[in-house]
Amino acid sequence: MKQAPTIKAALYMKMVTLCALVTASVLMVNQTAFAIELSKQQNQPVPAGEKPVDPYVQSNDNAGATPMTDDTVYHQFGGMDGISRIVDDLIDLSSKDERIEGIFRATDLVRLRRTLKEQICYILGGPCDYTGRDMKESHKTHGITMMEYNALIELLQVAMEKEGVAFRAQNKLLAKLAPMYRDIVLR
Ligand code: HEM
């Protein structure tokens, strides 16, 4: 009977210690997660010739579409060489097309070429990771209309045709890109 308060006090102390330990581990886990997140955002050296962009978390999820299950279509596009020519062509055409050239005037085309090539390579099932921003973030300041969106897709078709990509393979890429209009077209 006399020991009861001592036992209670001991139990209380144990509880306090346990709570402190749990809190400390939660804080440590949070801190580690925060540090990892921060390093993902900060460890982005600016590739040669490109302008820096605001920090963001790099992930293939930013590509806006799931990749093809194998690399058949990637090879039908001529692999990275074919994709590279198509993207270069698309950007050149877009920069000259009176319907949309204004949107590209102040753009870092070096970065756009690199990230668009990565994105298409990744979506077509090629050996690439997409390191750019997601579609919403990338286009949010440009106020792109449906007409402008369609103009770019039309130019992409011209570029794929010029590269000699089979019609069915072209359509496979277009089907992957089509739902992205929701994040790109804002007015
Ligand atoms: C499905 C269609 C489209 C895809 C897959 C696409 C893809 C991309 C990618 C990968 C980037 C670079 C992201 C980054 O810098 O991290 C980007 C940026 C950009 N896109 Fe698109 N895009 C599409 C449609 C359009 C359209 C329709 C326009 C205009 C007519 C457009 C104009 C731009 C511009 C101006 C940038 C540069 C953004 C900036 O740095 O502020 N895009 N796009």
The mean pLDDT value of the chain amounts to 89
Cα of 165 vs centre of ligand 1, distance in Å, is: 22
What confidence score (pLDDT) does residue 1 get?
47
Residue 87's H or E segment, with its range, is helix 79-96
What confidence score (pLDDT) does residue 37 get?
53
Query: What values do phi and psi take at 50, rounded to 5?
Result: -105, 160
| Nearest ligand 1 atom, CA 132 | 16
Nearest C-alpha neighbor of 122 from the set 131, 111, 135: 131
CA 100 to chain centre: 23
The Cα–Cα gap between 23 and 1 comes to 34
The dihedral over CA atoms of 157, 160, 164, 168, expressed in degrees to the nearest 10, equals -70
Q: How far apart are the first and last CA of the chain?
A: 78
What residue ranges line ligand 1, CB within 6 angstroms?
Answer: 100, 103-104, 107-108, 111-112, 115-116, 119, 132-133, 138-139, 141-142, 144, 148-149, 152, 177, 180, 184
* Cβ atoms of 186 and 143 closer than 8 Å: yes
The percentage of the chain sitting over the pLDDT mark of 90, rounded to a whole number, equals 75
- pLDDT at residue 20 greater than cutoff 80: no
Nearest C-alpha neighbor of 71 from the set 122, 115, 119, 113: 122
The percentage of the chain sitting over the pLDDT mark of 70, rounded to a whole number, equals 84
What confidence score (pLDDT) does residue 17 get?
72
Nearest CA to ligand 1 atom 25: 149
The Cα–Cα gap between 84 and 77 comes to 10
Cα of 138 vs centre of ligand 1, distance in Å, is: 6
- pLDDT at residue 31 greater than cutoff 80: no
**pTM listed for this prediction:** 0.83
pLDDT per residue over 35-67, tens digit each?
Answer: 555 545 545 789 999 999 999 999 999 999 999
